[in-house]
Amino acid sequence: DAKTTQPPSMDCAEGRAANLPCNHSTISGNEYVYWYRQIHSQGPQYIIHGLKNNETNEMASLIITEDRKSSTLILPHATLRDTAVYYCIVRVRDSGAGSYQLTFGKGTKLSVIP
Amino acid sequence: NAGVMQNPRHLVRRRGQEARLRCSPMKGHSHVYWYRQLPEEGLKFMVYLQKENIIDESGMPKERFSAEFPKEGPSILRIQQVVRGDSAAYFCASSVGTGELFFGEGSRLTVL
């Protein structure tokens, strides 16, 4: 089962910032927060990941609370092409032997509205 | 840089036939993951492989499904004696070690 909780759907006006929340209250110290999105029926697309510091790349920003129990993905200027299902996933990394697969939950369906 | 390549993109099989789906990981990636997405459902992990080894097959159905990632060539997901319930999109992902996963565009299997 997924270890994260996300709202099932959100709307955002085109050109505005989209802020997608995620709760991961049982996250372990060696687990990272990953965000992916799936546009229609395409393959999931990697967006960003972080451990405890805030992260920014060309697609988005990731804000992780100090206690690491929740995070927010920010798309600074949403466009119609950002309409997708967004998945917040916690995942172990760099811990030696084991499985590093991603467990997808239901995600948040973001609709960007003209 | 080529991404994860999956083929065929679309495959139609009759019940009882075999389906073989291929996945070529990104250059330099030695870890491969297979996922299945049934119509209107979420992505479900199937199997995680490194070159010549199955690391985690906890999501694979016990019968008819197998996967391999040989030393040379693509990873193969094989489904024997397909049934209508196998109709789905099958996604492959690859990674460098334990880094982020990058997904292909999927293979869509339709069983008649």
DSSP letters spanning B6-70 = EE-SEEEE-TT--EEEEEEPPTT--EEEEEEE-TTS-EEEEEEEETTEEEE-TTS-SSSEEEE--
**Do B98 and A41 lie within an 8 Å CB cutoff?**
no
Q: Does A45 touch chain B (CB under 8 A)?
A: yes
Q: What pLDDT, on a 0 to 100 scale, did the predictor assign at position B69? A: 96
Residue B35 corresponds to which tokens in the numbers above? 């996922």
What is the β-pairing status of strands A9-13 and A108-113?
parallel
Q: Quote the CA–CA distance of B6 and A90 in Å, as a whole number.
A: 26
Q: What pLDDT, on a 0 to 100 scale, did the predictor assign at position A96? A: 61
CA distance A12 to chain B (A): 23
Residue of chain A with shortest Cα separation from B33: A101
CB atoms within 10 A of CB A28: 11
pLDDT digits (tens, 9 = 90+) for B4-62: 999 999 999 999 999 999 999 999 999 999 999 998 888 999 999 998 899 999 999 99
> Is B94:B31 a contact under the CB 8 Å cutoff?
yes
Closest CA to B23 of B88, B97, B95: B95
> Is B36:B106 a contact under the CB 8 Å cutoff?
no
Contacting residues of B for A105, CB less than 8 Å apart: 42
Q: What pLDDT, on a 0 to 100 scale, did the predictor assign at position A28? A: 87
pLDDT digits (tens, 9 = 90+) for A51-83: 998 999 999 999 999 999 999 999 999 999 999
Residues of chain A where predicted confidence (pLDDT) is lower than 50: none
> Is B3:B25 a contact under the CB 8 Å cutoff?
no
Q: What pLDDT, on a 0 to 100 scale, did the predictor assign at position B98? A: 80
Contacting residues of A for B93, CB less than 8 Å apart: 43-44, 102
Computed over every residue of chain A, the mean pLDDT equals 92
